[in-house]
Amino acid sequence: MWADDRILREMNKAQKRLVFNFVFVAFITVGSVLAMVNLKDLVNRAEVIRAMEYLGKQVLQYKQDYGAVPPQSYVDELFDTLPGHARVDKLEYRARWLDIESSADVILAYSQKRFNSFLIKDGYVLLRLAGRVEWMGTEEFTAILIQQQSPMEREMIEKER
């Protein structure tokens, strides 16, 4: 009878080890999958920022050469040559709403990015008139853009939607 108890205890230890190993492998697998999804979104965001930085350099060069920001048609043509442009959802270019007195902090172009990640929040990558590129959360971006938009610009955007 004593031998039977010892066999039961040994089986329980083996079963515990098996369950522990299974849980450990499952945990590592789930963690790895989640890390890969978030890594993909981080790479996407970095590519969009890189595309916007390249656009910023081109816009600043155009501005230096011609004394004004380029027109929409120039940016549309340039867009397909941007490294990482395939990851930019829709580029909104605001040059027609800016004038010579616009501050360097004004948003010149932006693109919204949505993610399926629980670690990376949705937001916007934006290009300031001075060439600075930033990543900004949706709420903060919306508040700043509304301050910078004229009523006419808001009306035109609503018509386009």
Residue 149: its pLDDT value, please? 87
For position 97, what pLDDT does the model report?
87
Report d(CA 24, CA 18) in Å as an integer: 10
Residue 143: per-residue pLDDT: 92
- State how many domains the chain has: 1
* Residue-by-residue pLDDT tens, the chain, 161 positions: 555 666 656 667 777 788 788 888 998 998 888 778 778 888 888 888 999 999 999 999 999 999 889 999 999 888 888 887 777 888 889 988 888 788 888 999 999 988 777 777 889 999 999 999 999 999 999 999 988 988 888 888 777 76
Asked if 106 contacts 98 with a C-beta cutoff of 8 angstroms, the reply is yes
Supply angle C-alpha 62, 66, 85, rounded to 5: 20
Tell which residue, 112, 104, 106, 108, has the closest CA to residue 135. Answer: 112
- Nearest Cα to Cα of residue 48 among 77, 25, 22, 79: 79
Instruction: Give residue 136's domain range.
Output: 2-160
Residue 132, both tokens: 């600075």
Single pTM value for the model? 0.74
Give the DSSP letter of residue 71.
Answer: P
At 117 the pLDDT is: 72
Residue 109 is predicted with a pLDDT of 93
pLDDT at 4: 62
Helices (H), 67-131: 72-79
Question: What does the pLDDT read at residue 5?
Answer: 66
